[in-house]
């Protein structure tokens, strides 16, 4: 009797095919596998801690900034009412932020009669109004020198 070759060859599993289970890795106490805040924000928080000098001082700075967000700014409320806005949030919603070449933050706001004002927290007089958004912006951005 002769053996016939078969096309089905059974291959035995080896150790490389079935590695032993790995033990669970436990992260250090106090760490989390994924930060509960958006990427990039954690880096800013670490920078704040570094600049403040300690986590406690950084937390105080954040708490102070958060408190400022909750308290209505009386000056901006009064300024907004002067131009027909009911409140500071309404004034800010109608405004567009601008940054001057020197880094000073400004707002440009459309007011009644198709006029525009430019203001910031240090300069709330808005003594001059502008006929267009472009004219208001040009009061912040000086025209480029043309030679």
Q: What are phi and psi of 96, to 5 degrees?
A: -120, 130
Closest CA to 78 of 128, 129, 130, 124: 124
Please state, in angstroms and rounded to a whole number, the distance separating the CA atoms of residues 57 and 62: 9
Please state, in angstroms and rounded to a whole number, the distance separating the CA atoms of residues 42 and 37: 7
Please, what is the average pLDDT of the chain? 80
Tell me if 75 sits within 8 A of 124, measured CB to CB: yes
Question: What's the pLDDT at 115?
Answer: 93
* DSSP-based three-state secondary structure for 44: helix
pLDDT above 70 (res 60): yes
Question: What's the pLDDT at 85?
Answer: 93
* DSSP-based three-state secondary structure for 33: coil
Closest CA to 96 of 87, 105, 104: 105
Its pTM stands at 0.48
Tell me the two tokens of residue 4: 């016939």
pLDDT in tens, 68-100: 666 557 778 888 899 999 988 899 899 999 888
Question: What's the pLDDT at 42?
Answer: 81
Tell me if 69 sits within 8 A of 75, measured CB to CB: no
pLDDT in tens, 1-47: 566 666 676 666 665 666 667 777 776 776 666 656 777 888 888 88
């Amino acid at each position: 009797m002769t053996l016939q070759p078969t096309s089905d060859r059974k291959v035995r599993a080896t150790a490389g095919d079935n590695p032993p289970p790995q033990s669970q890795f436990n992260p250090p106490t106090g760490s989390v596998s994924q930060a509960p805040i958006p990427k990039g924000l954690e880096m800013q928080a670490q920078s704040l801690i570094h600049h403040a000098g300690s986590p406690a001082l950084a937390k105080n700075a954040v708490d102070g900034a958060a408190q400022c967000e909750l308290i209505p700014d009386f000056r901006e409320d009064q300024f907004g009412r002067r131009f027909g806005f009911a409140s500071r949030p309404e004034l800010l919603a109608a405004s567009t932020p601008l940054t001057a070449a020197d880094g000073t933050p400004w707002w440009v706001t459309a007011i009644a009669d198709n006029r525009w004002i430019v203001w910031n927290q240090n300069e709330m007089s808005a003594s001059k109004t502008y006929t267009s958004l472009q004219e208001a912006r040009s009061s912040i951005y000086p025209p480029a020198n043309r030679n």
